[in-house]
């Protein structure tokens, strides 16, 4: 029996920054589970606007047509839910967050953001977590329009944090000087939600 010099059967996949690709305590799924507190809305409100409010130089209220006219980006990311499932290699298409930021121009005092769903769901994060290369407002997943259960037609995507930061049925981003914990954050979910630190609950 050989005891030494054996490689593990499955090598742990690493990210470019050296951390494991799969965050601690997570398992991989091929399916895409649905996790919503509220019932899936049948359709978006007829008066839907993407409302960019609060500590910004230029508040915005984009109609659906105006939003759809913004430049699009495609990005492939992993997606991690606090209930321990992770799904690799999701390809997202949508509007990069910086398309919004460069138009609204957040003030230097905009240290936090609250994302709003038209269903009433909210989730908060530091501005620096929103203002990042992999943050988008998404319309498509793996080449198809986002299904209503997954936040279709429009959701936020913040893939480096647990998925409760990726608000489905998005209709607003509110920039704030002070932090205001969102829906799950006041109900026991961690305020920050970094999967590699296992920031699940408080």
Does position 70 interact with ligand MTE (CB under 6 A)? The reply is no
Nearer to Mo ion, 164 or 175 (CB): 164
Residues 66-95 that bind Mo ion (CB under 5 A): 81-82
Residue 36 contacts which entry, ligand MTE, Mo ion, none (Cβ below 5-8 A, type-dependent): ligand MTE
Nearest to 104, CA basis, from 51, 60, 156, 54: 60
Residues 5-44 that bind ligand MTE (CB under 6 A): 32-38
Does position 107 interact with Mo ion (CB under 5 A)? The reply is no
CB of 25 to ligand MTE, least distance (A): 14
Does position 191 interact with ligand MTE (CB under 6 A)? The reply is no
Does position 32 interact with Mo ion (CB under 5 A)? The reply is no
Nearest to 79, CA basis, from 16, 123, 22: 22
Does position 117 interact with ligand MTE (CB under 6 A)? The reply is yes
Nearer to ligand MTE, 25 or 33 (CB): 33
Nearest to 186, CA basis, from 81, 37, 23: 37
Q: Are the C-beta atoms of 133 and 144 separated by less than 8 Å?
A: no
CB of 55 to ligand MTE, least distance (A): 23
CB of 75 to ligand MTE, least distance (A): 16
**Residues found near ligand MTE in the complex (CB under 6 A):** 32-38, 81, 117, 119, 121, 150-151, 163-164, 166-169
């Amino acid at each position: 029996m050989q005891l030494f010099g054996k490689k593990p059967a499955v090598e742990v996949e690493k990210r470019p920054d050296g951390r494991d690709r799969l965050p601690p305590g997570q398992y991989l799924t091929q399916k895409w589970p649905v996790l919503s507190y509220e019932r899936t809305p049948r359709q978006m409100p007829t008066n839907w606007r993407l409302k960019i409010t609060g500590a910004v130089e230029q508040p915005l209220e984009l109609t659906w047509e105006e939003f759809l006219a913004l430049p699009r980006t495609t990005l492939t990311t992993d997606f991690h839910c606090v209930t321990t499932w992770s799904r690799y290699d999701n390809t997202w298409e949508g509007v990069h967050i910086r398309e919004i930021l460069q138009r609204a121009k957040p003030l230097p005092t905009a240290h936090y953001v609250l994302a709003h769903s038209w269903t009433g769901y909210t989730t908060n994060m530091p501005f620096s977590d929103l203002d990042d290369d992999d943050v988008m407002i998404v319309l498509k997943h793996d080449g198809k329009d986002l299904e209503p259960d997954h936040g279709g037609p429009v959701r936020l995507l913040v893939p480096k944090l647990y998925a409760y930061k990726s608000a489905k049925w998005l209709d607003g981003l509110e920039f704030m000087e002070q932090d205001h914990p969102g829906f799950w954050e006041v109900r026991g979910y961690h305020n920050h939600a970094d999967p590699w630190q296992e920031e699940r609950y408080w």
